[in-house]
Structure 1
Amino acid sequence: MKLYVGLDVGLEETSICIVDGEGLTVREVKVSTEPEAIRSAVEGCADRLDRVGVEASSLGIWLYRELQPAGLPMIVVEARHMRVSLSTMRNKTDRNDARGIAQMMRLGWYRAVHVKNIEMQKMRSLLANRKLLKRKLIDLENHIRGTLRAYGLMVGAVGRGGYEARVRELIEHSDPVFSMMIESMLDVRRAIFEGYERLHKVLLQVVQHDAICRRLMTVPGVGPVAALSFKVGVDDPLRFARSRTVGAHFGLTPRRHQSGTSIDYEGRITKQGDVAVREALCEAAASLLLRVRKWSALRAWGLRIAKRSSMLCAIVAVARKLASILHRMWINQTDFHVGFGAKVTQRLRLRPAQ
């Protein structure tokens, strides 16, 4: 009889539950969160294991990469789907969570997560670290601006390179204690800015030597960050049967509600999937509509939507269209053509790369 395993992973310990095809518990044990310990716990029944489920998390992805090559049929389950399933249990314990995951594996009521390869995971870490430093840099600059404003010192419009010199000019004749406080903040800002510059330079070098990213950048508005974010988010383009489903995967399609005799309506976008990719696509769409001046059918289509609805709706619609276009360009290995318009997802007539 086939067996099914549920792993409730913690920082130090992992609860393991093994059930058979009828749902009866075969074994329950708690071991340290190490691949060797988990493999030893299920070694006696390894030849009968059908599915081993683990929740999508940083530790779950790590255990998947370590245990999958060892022959265990690992499955990473979507966290949102698993949370809803386990919420039906009255008591929230590690033991009950492991039981619930094992039953999900037995019933097949789960949604598997695509696990990216290690290289894509490194690029994702690069994008996340760069974004974090950029956000902290902006927060720190705004905090310094607010502190100076309370004393009537206005930084004004200044570039990031000349920001520190402008602040030092304002505090030149200030109180020594106040100057020391601002200079300490500037020292921290300088360190963050240097780290951000290094990561951004690495990102540009990666994109420069990546043929796929360079091809995606032929689309107006799509820059290095958006191209690399999309490539990392998709990872394997063949896992999408149709290009038009890529936008839905990243949460750019409207949420639909229909129940019984109630009105069937569409709400706001679902905002599911990779947040970083969705933000990158929306930024690229905004750049295409608001900054790019070169005509294209895609831009004209978006501006028509903005005219009859709003610019925000047009940005989301163009972002969803961009997801389909970028995916099809990746599949067909073709460059962008300015004639792509509203029917691009139905008739993707792409110009072959030279």
Structure 2
Amino acid sequence: MDYIGIDISQDYVDADLPGGVQRLAQDPAGLRALLAAVPAGAVCVLEATGPYGLRLLAALHRAQRPVCVVNPLQVRRFAQSQLRRSKTDRTHAQLLSQFGRAFTPALHAPTALWLTQLQQRQALLDLLKGQRTALGNHQHALAQSPWPDPVSTRALEAELDRLDQQVADLEKSLARDARAQCGADYARLQTIPGVGPRVALALLLAGPGLRAFAGWRQAVAYAGLCPRHYASGTSVRGRPRLSKLGDGRLRKLLYLGAWSASRANPACQALYQRLLERGKAKPQALCAVAARLLRQAWALLTHERDFDPHFHLALA
């Protein structure tokens, strides 16, 4: 099986085709020419580099061409292992081909349309909330002035009212469409003590969807909640820390949910108390509880059952 590395930019793509690297425009005509030039049965290798590759990825899926979407950090480390000293669009396309042959990455499965659109809506909601916080802070600072500008005050109030309405509308539509698309899973996740509507929605929209992860370990790694150990020989013994290589927003929400889960969720409460008795700090114990929450959520969706507070006792 041959691999065709494709380096992507905003206006064009560089493809490592059998006749050499070719540059094609990032437009419908250029994508059609690329699909015609890729040999039958060849696997295209792209990097997950933001929105610029989405049109090409969709075109490849529509044409039923096999494609891999690889982590840019893995490709970068692969280039460093070869002692590469320079990077151009041409050489990077060739590097992606070599990476595919060396590691045979898993094929990318197309994401459901509803999941993609809800993820886009969630990203917009997070952006608007950040703007709301920034403007609220500015309003507070303006109010401390002995001579606040009335024009600025009115403009801030109007903009904050508009953002509040937009945030409320988006949150309502997200909850409505999540229930319409996966209402059973949405309700099932909220049977877990410590998982509310926001955490349940974040779990449903995590990456390819929580159900798509092959195991709970993959889900925990996606959230960056797995420990990272560093030791070498007899003298280097680094303290284990969270990898934090993953979805920071999901990790933050699970950590907040861990506060209530450490009191109301029997399995999480037992884990939390056990870690504290072993001398772990409270933040460390809460991170472990957050990982346990994610493990429970994956198990409930996989086995299609509601939360049972005594299930962990039956296993013991």
Indicate the TM-score class for this superposition, using the shorter chain for normalisation: 0.7 to 0.9
Count of aligned pairs between the two proteins: 310
Q: Equivalences for 1:209-224 in 2 at 5 Å?
A: 209=180, 210-224=183-197
State the 1:226 CA deviation.
0.9
Whether contact under 8 Å (2:210, 2:298) holds in the other structure is yes
Distance 1:179 1:63, change over 3 A: same
In the alignment, which residue of structure 2 is the partner of 1:169?
none
Structure 2 residue corresponding to 1:198, chosen from 164, 169, 186: 169
Query: Match of 1:59, as an amino acid?
Result: Y
Structure 2 residue corresponding to 1:29, chosen from 7, 12, 22: 22
Matched residues in 1 for 2:26 and 2:179: separation? 39
Distance 1:241 1:188, change over 3 A: closer
State the 1:215 CA deviation.
0.5
Whether contact under 8 Å (2:45, 2:100) holds in the other structure is yes
In the alignment, which residue of structure 2 is the partner of 1:334?
305
In the alignment, which residue of structure 2 is the partner of 1:274?
247
Cα-Cα RMSD: 2.7
The secondary structure found in structure 2 opposite 1:233 is coil
Residue 89 of structure 2 is aligned to residue 66 of structure 1 = no
Unaligned runs of 5+ in 1: 20-25, 152-174, 350-354
Matched residues in 2 for 1:200 and 1:255: separation? 35
Matched residues in 1 for 2:56 and 2:74: separation? 20
In the alignment, which residue of structure 2 is the partner of 1:46?
39
In the alignment, which residue of structure 2 is the partner of 1:162?
none
- Structure 1, 257-266 or 317-326: larger mean CA deviation: 257-266
In the alignment, which residue of structure 2 is the partner of 1:161?
none
Matched residues in 1 for 2:227 and 2:110: separation? 26
- Structure 1, 127-136 or 257-266: larger mean CA deviation: 257-266
Query: Match of 1:6, as an amino acid?
Result: G
Matched residues in 1 for 2:150 and 2:282: separation? 44
Whether contact under 8 Å (1:298, 1:340) holds in the other structure is no
Structure 2 residue corresponding to 1:252, chosen from 221, 225, 245: 225
In the alignment, which residue of structure 2 is the partner of 1:92?
87
Whether contact under 8 Å (1:207, 1:224) holds in the other structure is no
Structure 1 residue corresponding to 2:69, chosen from 76, 79, 84: 76
Show CA shifts across 1:219-269 (max 9, x none). Answer: 112111211111121545565443344212321011122445554545210
State the 1:340 CA deviation.
5.1
Query: Match of 2:156, as an amino acid?
Result: M
Whether contact under 8 Å (2:43, 2:66) holds in the other structure is yes
In the alignment, which residue of structure 2 is the partner of 1:285?
258
The secondary structure found in structure 2 opposite 1:272 is coil
Residue 293 of structure 2 is aligned to residue 298 of structure 1 = no
In the alignment, which residue of structure 2 is the partner of 1:163?
none
State the 1:207 CA deviation.
4.0
Matched residues in 2 for 1:207 and 1:53: separation? 32
Query: Match of 1:43, as an amino acid?
Result: A
Residue 1 of structure 2 is aligned to residue 5 of structure 1 = no
Residue 130 of structure 2 is aligned to residue 135 of structure 1 = yes
Distance 1:81 1:114, change over 3 A: farther
Query: Match of 2:166, as an amino acid?
Result: G
Percent identity over the alignment?
25
Tell me the TM-score normalised to structure 2 length.
0.86
State the 1:335 CA deviation.
0.9
Matched residues in 2 for 1:111 and 1:71: separation? 15
Matched residues in 2 for 1:238 and 1:61: separation? 22
Matched residues in 2 for 1:150 and 1:103: separation? 61
State the 1:84 CA deviation.
2.5
Whether contact under 8 Å (2:229, 2:239) holds in the other structure is yes
Matched residues in 2 for 1:339 and 1:320: separation? 19
The secondary structure found in structure 2 opposite 1:116 is coil
Query: Match of 1:127, as an amino acid?
Result: Q
Matched residues in 2 for 1:45 and 1:17: separation? 9
Higher helix share: 2
Unaligned runs of 5+ in 2: none
Report which of the two structures shows the higher radius of gyration computed on alpha carbons.
Answer: 1
Show CA shifts across 1:105-163 (max 9, x none). Answer: 22236576665322211111122111111121112111211222243xxxxxxxxxxxx
Whether contact under 8 Å (2:6, 2:44) holds in the other structure is yes
Whether contact under 8 Å (2:31, 2:56) holds in the other structure is no
Matched residues in 2 for 1:54 and 1:330: separation? 30
The secondary structure found in structure 1 opposite 2:192 is coil
Tell me the TM-score normalised to structure 1 length.
0.78
Whether contact under 8 Å (2:17, 2:38) holds in the other structure is no
State the 1:270 CA deviation.
0.5
The secondary structure found in structure 2 opposite 1:15 is strand
Matched residues in 2 for 1:226 and 1:80: separation? 28
